Amino acid sequence: MSALPMPVRTSTETGILAGTRTLLYKEVLRFWKVAFQTVAAPVLTAILYLLIFGHVLEGRITVFGSVGYTSFLIPGLVMMSVLQNAFANSSSSLIQSKITGNLVFLLVAPLSHWAWFLAYVGASVVRGVAVGTGVMLVTIWFAPLQVANPLWIIVFTLAGAVLMGALGLIAGLWAEKFDQIAAFQNFLIMPMTFLSGVFYSVHSLPPLWKAVSHLNPFFYMIDGFRHGFFGTSDVSPWTSLGVVGVSLVVVCGLCLNLLRIGYKIRH
């Protein structure tokens, strides 16, 4: 693949955002140069999920009245891919820099905590959206899919990607080795993703697990995103937007504060 164009820095790029564009370019280029692993592989994984679950359950389950199971599954897989890859991008990048020792080059540069945040989270959004778009383009051939409200799709895609990029940055700051990042992903991100209604409607769950699902912010991201396609969902999209918005403010605020004090990167 051809290299991304080098950003040209202007004389107006000063203050707290100085260096943001260059660091963002570096972070995007980092995953883009191995796009077969960082973009194509997650798309293939989503296709396998669709083939397996769609083949087994299509015709046996109908959700939202008349929506076929495969059509129901596609938006869930798209949003799941966005969330997981946005988290993976920022967390893996920061832990690699810490372990290899090249993080020092960022520490000596005149970069504010806002520049770090915008660059790392921005690159996570780019990767998450790229993978989600790839999943959508490939899986849309398997079942009919309508778009009821594209604005909800855009809002929840961006909000979810930013939230997970910031959460990945927190995990990268906290972790000191790859095993800790893997534990964070396997014992927190993965269970919350799979228990968020990607493969099922929460209305089909027993009352206890239905209540537990409503405590999971990932559920609201996926349910709100799915509402943009079908015009219906398990909860109101405004409720989902409220929960996601509060979660976004809390996670981003914590992330910015950890970057400001140099948590585990200035010693």
Residue 62 has pLDDT above 70, yes or no: no
For range 108-126, the mean pLDDT:
93
pTM for the full model? 0.89
**For the chain, percent of residues with pLDDT exceeding 70:** 89
For range 227-247, the mean pLDDT:
93
Q: Highest mean pLDDT range out of 4-13, 105-114, 135-144, 148-157? A: 148-157
Q: At residue 3, what is the residue type? A: A
Compute the half-sphere exposure of residue 108: CA atoms within 13 Å on the CB side of its CA.
5
Residue 107 has pLDDT above 90, yes or no: no
Q: Band of the pLDDT at 14, cuts 50, 70, 90?
A: low
Least confident piece of the model among 134-138, 145-149, 216-220: 145-149
Domain ranges of the chain: 38-261
Query: Residues 6 or more apart from 53 whose CB is under 8 A from it?
Result: 69, 73, 199
For range 209-215, the mean pLDDT:
85
For range 14-29, the mean pLDDT:
83
